[in-house]
Structure 1
Amino acid sequence: MKDNNYRKKYSKIPVVVIIFNRPDKTKILYESFKYYKPSKLLIISDGPRNSFKDEKEKVDQSRKVFEKIDWECEVLFNISETNLGCRERIISGLNWVFNREEKAIILEDDCIPSEEFFTFMELMLSKYQANKKISSVCGTNFLPDWSKTKNSYLYSKYCHVWGWGTWKDRWEKIDFNLDRLDEIKKTKFLKGYLGTFRAYLYWHWIFNNVKKKKINSWAYIWNFTNFINKSISIIPVTNLLSNIGIGKNSSHTRSLPYKYITAQESKKKLKFPLKYPSNLLLDF
Structure 2
Amino acid sequence: MVAPIALFAYKRPSELTKTLAALQANHLASESELYVFVDGPRSEKDVLKVEQVRQIVREITGFKTVHRMISDHNIGCADSIIQGVTQVLKVHPTVIVVEDDIVTTPNFLDFINQSLAQYADDKRVFSIGGYTFPFKKPDGYQADGYFFGRHCAWGWGIWADRWQEIDWNITDFQQFMNDSGQRRAFNRAGMDMVRMLRKTMEGKLDAWDIRVCYNIFKKGKQTLYPTVSKVENIGFYSADGMNTNVYNRFKTVLDPGLKREFLFTKQVTEEDLFARQFRWKYSLQVRIFAKMLTYAGLR
What TM-score range do you get, normalising by the shorter chain?
A: 0.7 to 0.9
Per-residue deviation at 1:269? 6.7
Partner of 1:107: 98
* Residue-by-residue CA offset, 1:54-112 (whole Å, 9 max, x unaligned): x2222122122232344463222333211122122221222222222210111001101
Distance 2:125 2:91 in 1: 21
Distance 2:250 2:164 in 1: 34
SS at match of 1:246: helix
Kindly indicate which of the two structures has a greater share of residues assigned to helix.
Answer: 2
Partner of 2:184: 191
Distance 1:223 1:184 in 2: 14
Matched, 1:175 2:167: yes
Per-residue deviation at 1:242? 1.8
1:279 maps to which of 267, 271, 276 = 267
Per-residue deviation at 1:270? 7.7
The alpha-carbon distance between structure 1 residues 213 and 162, as it changes in their structure 2 partners (threshold 3 A), is same
SS at match of 1:132: coil
Partner of 1:261: 252
Judge which range, 208-217 or 92-101, deviates more.
92-101
Judge which range, 174-183 or 122-131, deviates more.
174-183
Partner of 2:128: 137
The alpha-carbon distance between structure 1 residues 218 and 68, as it changes in their structure 2 partners (threshold 3 A), is same
Partner of 1:232: 222
Per-residue deviation at 1:253? 2.3
Distance 1:204 1:24 in 2: 33
Distance 1:172 1:26 in 2: 29
Distance 1:230 1:208 in 2: 20
Distance 2:57 2:40 in 1: 16
Q: Do 1:15 and 1:38's aligned partners in 2 also have CA atoms closer than 8 Å?
A: no
Per-residue deviation at 1:191? 2.5
The alpha-carbon distance between structure 1 residues 256 and 16, as it changes in their structure 2 partners (threshold 3 A), is same
Partner of 1:3: none
* Residue-by-residue CA offset, 1:139-159 (whole Å, 9 max, x unaligned): 0002x0322233211011011
Per-residue deviation at 1:138? 0.4
One-letter code aligned to 1:180: D
Q: Do 1:238 and 1:269's aligned partners in 2 also have CA atoms closer than 8 Å?
A: no
TM-score by length of 1: 0.84
The alpha-carbon distance between structure 1 residues 72 and 105, as it changes in their structure 2 partners (threshold 3 A), is closer
SS at match of 2:107: helix
One-letter code aligned to 2:212: W
One-letter code aligned to 2:87: W
Per-residue deviation at 1:194? 4.8
2:196 maps to which of 198, 206, 221 = 206
* Residue-by-residue CA offset, 1:17-44 (whole Å, 9 max, x unaligned): 0000111221222222333224311111
Partner of 1:5: none
Q: Do 2:101 and 2:234's aligned partners in 1 also have CA atoms closer than 8 Å?
A: yes
TM-score by length of 2: 0.80
Distance 1:269 1:46 in 2: 31
Distance 2:108 2:257 in 1: 11
Matched, 1:19 2:9: yes
Per-residue deviation at 1:248? 5.8
Distance 2:63 2:129 in 1: 27
One-letter code aligned to 1:39: S
- Please report the RMSD computed on the Cα atoms of aligned residues, expressed in angstroms: 2.3
One-letter code aligned to 1:276: F
Q: Do 2:127 and 2:224's aligned partners in 1 also have CA atoms closer than 8 Å?
A: yes
User: Structure 1: which 5+ residue stretches go unaligned?
Assistant: 1-10
Partner of 1:47: 40
Per-residue deviation at 1:132? 1.3
Distance 1:193 1:220 in 2: 11
Partner of 1:4: none
Distance 1:257 1:66 in 2: 28
Partner of 2:278: none
List aligned pairs for 1:21-36, cutoff 5 A. Answer: 21-35=11-25, 36=29
One-letter code aligned to 1:191: R
Distance 1:104 1:131 in 2: 17
Distance 1:156 1:107 in 2: 20
